[in-house]
Amino acid sequence: MTRLTPHQPARPAIAVFCSGHGTNLQAILDATRAGRLRACVALVLSDRPDAGALRRARRAGVEAHYVDPRASPTRAAFERVLIRRCEARQVRLVCLAGFMRMLSPVFVRRYRHRIVNIHPALLPAFPGAHAIRDALQWGVKVTGVTVHLVDEAMDHGPIILQEALAIRPGETATSLLARLHTMEHRLYPQAIHLMLAGRVKVEGRTVRIADRR
């Protein structure tokens, strides 16, 4: 066990919620390990027992749990389980990384302006679970990645960071996903760093990034 010295303050605890392979979780873990993100991934939660993210977390020595939504009588009751898990680890920031459940006001109000999500499109364009497919079907020339705060609506909260990506001629969903993943894995740890550093200031729907202190 690592002991803290007076010159080694505890890193803020974050929780990562995942439903799938956990590639963004891995990017966060890599950033903390490399020192680019001063945080501790204290908890990984998934609503799917076979999520690859759980295996990634456990290999990294991070506490990871499957929370069965069907074991709770209501959505609110399920989310109270998530809240208790987060409170037990004194989680400061909740990061959604491919978590395929929309959080209700029960959770959002408990962690208002302390929940972030990453989305593979330039919101407000193409919200929802099929953003890459939808962008290609619409024939847009530019898409990208958005990191935003989570509110009670789907892919709707104030935008922290965005980055655009030109769609190439003949682009496929597979090739576009791979290029967007590269962007996500760089942008998400950066946004988390800004949040934990207290540099994200929310004014209505506008997010302002404060200068370094």
pLDDT per residue, tens digit, the chain (213 aa), is 333 334 445 899 999 999 999 999 999 999 999 999 999 999 999 999 999 999 999 999 999 999 999 999 999 999 999 999 999 999 999 999 999 999 999 999 999 999 999 999 999 999 999 999 999 999 999 999 999 999 999 999 999 999 999 999 999 999 999 999 999 999 999 999 999 999 999 999 999 999 875
Cα–Cα distance measured from residue 159 to residue 146, given in angstroms and rounded to the nearest whole number: 7
Q: Dump the DSSP string for 144-165.
A: EEEEEE--SSTT-SPEEEEEEE
pLDDT value at residue 213: 59
> Tokens 């499957």 belong to which residue?
66
pTM of the model: 0.93
Catalytic residue among 119, 148, 181, 193: 119
Assigned token pair, 55: 């295996």
C-alpha separations of 13 from 26, 93, 165 in Å: 16, 7, 31
Q: Is 168 helix (H, G, I), strand (E, B) or coil?
A: coil
Asked about 119 being catalytic, the answer comes back as yes
Domains of the chain: 1-111 (3.40.50.170), 117-213 (3.40.50.170)
pLDDT value at residue 8: 43
Cα–Cα distance measured from residue 202 to residue 207, given in angstroms and rounded to the nearest whole number: 5
8 phi, psi to nearest 5 deg: -130, 80
Cα–Cα distance measured from residue 169 to residue 177, given in angstroms and rounded to the nearest whole number: 15
Cα–Cα distance measured from residue 71 to residue 77, given in angstroms and rounded to the nearest whole number: 9
Residue 67 class from Cβ within 10 Å (0-12 exposed, 13-18 middle, 19+ buried)?
Answer: middle
